Chain A
Amino acid sequence: MSEHKGVWVYCETDESRLKRVALELVTKARTFADKLGEEVVAVLIGNDIERHAEGLIYQGADKVLVVDDEVFTNYTTDAYSKALANLIEERKPSILFLGATTNGRDLAPRVAAKLKLGLTADCTGLELNDKKQLVQIRPAFSGKVMVELVSPETRPQMTTVRPNVFKPAKPDNSRTGDIEQVKTLISQDDIRTEILERVKEVVEGMISVDEAEVVVCSGRGIKEPENLKLPEELAKLLDAAVGGSRPIVDLGWLPPTQQVGQSGRTILPNLYFALGISGAIQHLAGCSSADTFVAINKDPDAPIFENADFGIVGDIFEIVPAVIEEIKKIQAER
């Protein structure tokens, strides 16, 4: 196992764009590599993705492995898992992080099974213990408990990490590193699934909850879909994304891309508004790391208040318009 060296990050791209979680994970990998005295290696697999390599070095990578080929234009389990497994077998890293995205969570277990590796999905915390093992921390049972796991016998120690848990560091443009093109022997014949079409369901002009600095999220308390105009107005003032808890997304009032919580998105905004949300543990799992958490709810006993930096017990239809007026006043003064 001692021959395994290097903290690797699989840097996911989608339609040639780099996912933000890659930057979060390279930042985290840097801290581990420094403690272990190893290199950070970023792995890029895709088509037309070499241009991201330099940015990954600025972010903290010592080396970037680029597997750039037309066969990787769309994500497919077969092509990507073979490419990544081949690299791991050949170069033997000690740790491998992937983002716990839809495709990351499809890819990681396939690679783990190819190489017979332990794997922990969707980690929200990572540490090194005194044996220099990677401690993988994640919630279980809908967030009721936290669990620490290790993979003592297999290398690399492999995890997928939830996006928006770690903040990316500021890139350092003076950093240097190696960029290596890796040839692939994978061909179209290796791919057993065919992607006939990719359909986007994001609503035009709607800000994504994933990356917004401010998120205004509504729950059952909003009562009618027409009433969403109110959070939308607040969101517009603050350049915020409009989110929803599971019940209102299930009702179709907002698209699934805007759902915050365990079965939706985990977000890490600077400011979070929970409007008419009771605060089920599944919802809090997706938003409780917000820097500033505001809750407005009629029910004084709603668990959401236990999480809020600032809570107001009252009717959102009376309070939110008043908040909008106050914000307008402040903005006019600036």
Chain B
Amino acid sequence: MLIMELTSPAGQRTGSPRGVSFMKIIVPIKQVPEAVEVRIKEAADTLNTDGVPRILNPFDLFAVEAAIQLKEEKGGEVIIMTMGPPQASDAILKALAMGGDRAIHLTDPAFEGADSWSTAIVLAEQIRKMEYDLIICGRQSMDWDLGQVGAELAELLDLPQITGVRHLEIAGDGKHVITHRVTEDGYEVVKAKMPVLLTATKGLNEPRLPNIMGIMKAKKKPLETIDAATLGLDATQTGGAGALSKTVRVFPPEKRKGGIKLEDVEPKEAAKQLVEFLAKKGAI
């Protein structure tokens, strides 16, 4: 009930930090194929992900959990959003079962074959119509590992971004986030005024497993399905047609050839042979 009352009317432009304890948090998620199951189609040079089990992208779990924790602490609403085919609703249900309040499923055959740019375009078009304090994405998706949609989305929405966040708190004034952003030799403490876009990484939290109650409730939570026409995007902007990066070939990785392998050799003798081998190669 509370949720319905507070849902903002469509068309209202976002933006200003609300500075209240009630936070609106958008979590864009992605459903990905489980990498272990992916095969290359023989002689087709294309990726075969048909029939491969699909999961909610692991980095997105950190984002969903962070949003739910903030909501539990400050009060608020967590809006799950995805651009994906109809079956991506499984990923939405999981995020709702964890504790998301409602969801938006951007789905249209015209969105297929998108790269990070034509994904960000679609997400941005929807988010522009909404009110929010925070957007939390996963740092990267497990399938492509590009990690580009978050920053591209932030640019399209003209928001500050903090990528690779492993600690998140709301400052005492209720208007800023204070984060720990992972760097190559540690982390930096970064503060920014909301609204801001964050990408979540390992260490931010331990994502909860949905319980039975959560799973039951998830199916009753509001889920909006939106297509390209409703968003006001034409087919040249989205999916494969709107993509700026094109895949031209997919192929199996080159395997390194195994070399010498000693089995059932006494440790001393094995060590001796190894060190001789390395010395001969000039490696030691």
- Where the two chains meet, the residues of A that have a C-beta atom closer than 8 Å to any C-beta of B are 14, 74, 77-78, 81, 101-103, 105-106, 108-110, 112-114, 116-122, 135-136, 139-154, 192-202, 214, 238, 257, 262-263, 270-271, 288, 291-294, 300, 305-315, 318-319, 322-323, 325-327, 329-330
Contacts and interface: CB of A to CB of B under 8 A. Distances in A.
B189 interface: yes
Given A151-B244, A194-B190, A78 B185 contact: no
- Residue of A109, A144, A153 with most partner-chain B CB within 10 A: A109
Contacts of A306: 255-256, 258
CB-based closest 4 A-B pairs? A118-B244, A322-B271, A113-B155, A192-B160
Contact of A198 (B156, B163, B186, B268): B186
A110 B156 CA distance: 9
B188 A119 contact: no
Given A113-B155, A291-B283, A306-B255, 4 more contacts: A109-B155, A122-B145, A150-B248, A195-B188
B5 interface: no
A102 B144 CA distance: 17
Given A78-B160, A141-B38, A330-B284, A288 B256 contact: yes
A265 to B, nearest CB: 9
A268 B148 CA distance: 25
B229 interface: no
A201 B185 contact: yes
B192 interface: yes
Contacts of A142: 35-36, 142, 145
B272 interface: yes
Contacts of A202: 185-186
A314 to B, nearest CB: 6
Contacts of B189: 195-199
B160 A193 contact: yes
Interface residues of B, number: 80
Given A122-B146, A148-B248, A308-B259, A194 B191 contact: yes
Contact of B245 (A77, A78, A151, A288): A151
B223 to A, nearest CB: 29
Contact of A201 (B144, B186, B284): B186
B19 to A, nearest CB: 16
14 contacts: A106-B164, A116-B117, A119-B116, A120-B245, A121-B145, A121-B146, A145-B40, A154-B244, A193-B192, A263-B202, A307-B255, A312-B271, A319-B270, A330-B275
Nearest to A202: B185
Majority secondary structure of chain A interface residues (helix, strand, loop or mixed):
mixed
Interface string B207-244: 00000000000000000000000000000000000011
B267 A313 contact: no
Contact of A199 (B187, B245, B252): B187
Contacts, number: 247
Given A101-B184, A140-B143, A198-B183, A292 B283 contact: yes
Interface in B166-215: 178, 180, 182-193, 196, 202
Contacts of B190: 193-196
Contacts of A14: 184
Contacts of A81: 155
A110 B245 contact: no
Contacts of A135: 248
B146 A120 contact: yes
A313 B244 contact: no
A196 B71 CA distance: 25
A309 B261 CA distance: 8
B256 A105 contact: no
Given A263-B202, A271-B284, A312-B265, A113 B152 contact: yes
Contacts of B180: 199
A310 B117 contact: no
Contacts of B183: 102-103, 198
Contact of A141 (B143, B188, B275): B143
Contacts of A200: 185-186
- Residue of A139, A308, A326, A329 with most partner-chain B CB within 10 A: A326
A330 B283 CA distance: 13
B38 A145 contact: yes
A149 B113 CA distance: 13
B167 to A, nearest CB: 11
B107 interface: no
B9 interface: no
B264 interface: yes
- Residue of B162, B244, B265 with most partner-chain A CB within 10 A: B244
A77 B160 contact: yes
Nearest to B45: A148
A313 B245 contact: no
Given A139-B253, A193-B190, A326 B148 contact: no
Given A113-B117, A119-B116, A326 B247 contact: no
Contacts of B142: 142
Nearest to A294: B274
Nearest to B279: A330
A273 to B, nearest CB: 10
B15 interface: no
A305 B151 contact: no
Contacts of A121: 145-148
Nearest to A292: B283
A194 B191 CA distance: 5
Contacts of B20: none
